[in-house]
Structure 1
Amino acid sequence: MFQSAVALAAMSLLTGTNADLQTCSTNSGYSCASSSTTPTCCFNYPGGALLQTQFWDTSPSTGPSTSWTIHGLWPDNCDGTYESSCDSSRAYTNITDILQTQGRDDLLDYMDEYWVDINGDNESFWAHEWGKHGTCINTIDPDCYQGYTAQEEVGDFFEKVVDLFKGLDTYKALAAAGITPSTSKTYTLSAIQSALTEMHGASVYLGCSSGKLNQVWYFYNVQGNAIDGSYKAVKTLTNSGCPSTGIKYVPK
């Protein structure tokens, strides 16, 4: 039941957000799976793999005690390498103002709960994620919009990251496999990987610090643009940074 519910939710989330972007053919190939090296408004390149990344912060704790939190959405060059900070002219630092101007108050409220900075400076965290990663997603460049309005792509980016995150409930997927936060229990890498692979449909990157689970990255290839294109789960391009056994998953 859990897997079916997640799969249905993911399907509904990954089909589009009705952005004002140029229409893309449904016959176009998925990013990373094509020999094309030409970036277009309908083909993500060179950052053809998109990673929805999450945190489990416990020192200090961030976000709800029964949920992971958002790290970001990162374009990867299909091989584990990536470009960053691709357009300094669009490295906006007033994310809250932009979202409020666009009438995305509900999105902003959600981000304040689930996309939180470990030092309490959410605004700087969001600006960092947009400037470093969002500006490198070529299919949301201003030229890709029809009737573009200033900073339209910024709101679309944050909305898409949140939509993806809502379809990837890491806490629930682990709990369904009997993997819950504990001060005494430890878990194996294979058990954690299996639980999240079952939800996502492909293997994920798992990160640990001092043997404590604290990160997960979900990899996708995209057909069409990054906002209303079709997302397909693909296996991790990066080896997990956790030990094979004795992994701690401590409570917030």
Structure 2
Amino acid sequence: MKQNSSYIDLFLVVLLCHSGCCLPVEYGDFNFDYLLFDQHWPITECWHWKSLNTSNSCSLPQVQNAFFVHGLWPSQSGTKGPNNCSNQPKFDRKALDPILSRLKQRWANIHGGTDDYSFWSHEWKKHGTCAQVLEPFNSELKYFKGSLDLNALYDVYGALAEYGIKPATQSYAVDDVLNAVMKKFGKAPQIYCLISKGQVLLHSVRLCFDRNIKLIDCSSVGVSAKNCGGKKTLQYLNKITVD
């Protein structure tokens, strides 16, 4: 199957070149089965960033009612990657000008003192260059815009709130979080936790898409439903409290 997939991807490269969106001559490994879409909760990510160093600060959104895009990652069943599929096209800051305000609202780098563009450049080089063999993501602008569109379409904050799960000091059953997302979107996600200093925190909700950008069960491509260290409850932080 992987050999056949390679031929298909090579055909896509040739096709895209003829359509005026030519991919690099130096062809890399574009083999992947699905796309893993990671949306993280900004407060948990800030908690993690501050826990690494007491001098770290965060740039959090004023209205904290949305999960931010972390990334859209081409992936192979049962393993990770591919990553860094090509060194072309190079990341171009200006290419993102048409969607810059949207990026700052939903795909910002909340690590204080660090640059948004460094974050976006990393995601493009590591993941976008692999996703570019798919027509919906075959340019830098389309990769980032397409990911933002998925973030708007699959509103994790709204899905959880609809089932009574909101940021709070109380704990929630991991299964309740999982089931809320599954009921809302109709497919099984992955609930990803950050476990540190005895706390189990909701960090990300990950959705899986096939190569036609159709939502699928993450379990169908070997992604476990829960990545919370076997813990049965988690916290969905509503404020930063780092000891």
Alignment partner, residue 22 of structure 2: none
Q: Are 1:129 and 2:123 matched, yes or no?
A: yes
Alignment partner, residue 3 of structure 1: none
Alignment partner, residue 249 of structure 1: 236
Alignment partner, residue 39 of structure 2: 54
SS at 2:69's partner residue?
Answer: strand
Q: Which amino acid aligns with 2:204?
A: Q
TM-score when normalising by structure 2: 0.72
Q: Are 1:173 and 2:159 matched, yes or no?
A: yes
For structure 2, the 5+ residue unaligned runs are: 16-28, 48-57
Alpha carbons of structure 1 residues 45 and 98: separation in structure 2 relative to 1, 3 Å: closer
Q: 1:99 aligns with which of 82, 96, 101?
A: 96
Instruction: Report how far residue 79 of structure 1 moved.
Output: 2.7
SS at 1:123's partner residue?
Answer: helix
SS at 1:133's partner residue?
Answer: helix
Distance 1:45 1:125 in 2: 22
Alignment partner, residue 21 of structure 2: none
Distance 2:30 2:125 in 1: 18
* Alignment of structure 1 residues 163-242 onto 2, 5 Å: 163-183=149-169, 185-210=170-195, 211-223=200-212, 230-236=213-219, 237-239=222-224, 240-242=226-228
SS at 1:222's partner residue?
Answer: coil
Instruction: Report how far residue 133 of structure 1 moved.
Output: 0.2
Contact kept? 1:55, 1:68, Cα under 8 Å: yes
Distance 1:180 1:195 in 2: 12
Alpha carbons of structure 1 residues 155 and 135: separation in structure 2 relative to 1, 3 Å: same
Instruction: Report how far residue 234 of structure 1 moved.
Output: 2.6
TM-score when normalising by structure 1: 0.70
Alpha carbons of structure 1 residues 152 and 219: separation in structure 2 relative to 1, 3 Å: closer
What percent identity do the matched residue pairs reach?
25
SS at 2:66's partner residue?
Answer: coil
Alignment partner, residue 4 of structure 1: none
**What per-residue deviation string (whole Å, max 9, x for no partner) do you get for residues 70-96 of structure 1?**
11111011334211111123341x43x
Distance 1:36 1:89 in 2: 24
**What per-residue deviation string (whole Å, max 9, x for no partner) do you get for residues 75-121 of structure 1?**
011334211111123341x43x1223xxx2xx210111110112242
Distance 2:77 2:90 in 1: 24
Which fold has the larger relative contact order, with Cα–Cα distance below 8 Å and residues 6 or more apart in sequence? 1
SS at 2:96's partner residue?
Answer: helix
Deviating above 4 A after TM superposition, structure 1's stretches of 4 or more consecutive aligned residues are none
* Alignment of structure 1 residues 20-35 onto 2, 5 Å: none
Q: Which amino acid aligns with 1:62?
A: L
* Count of residue pairs brought into register by the alignment: 197
Q: 2:148 aligns with which of 156, 162, 183?
A: 162
For structure 1, the 5+ residue unaligned runs are: 1-31, 146-150, 224-229
Instruction: Report how far residue 197 of structure 1 moved.
Output: 1.0
SS at 1:52's partner residue?
Answer: strand
Larger helix share, 1 or 2: 2
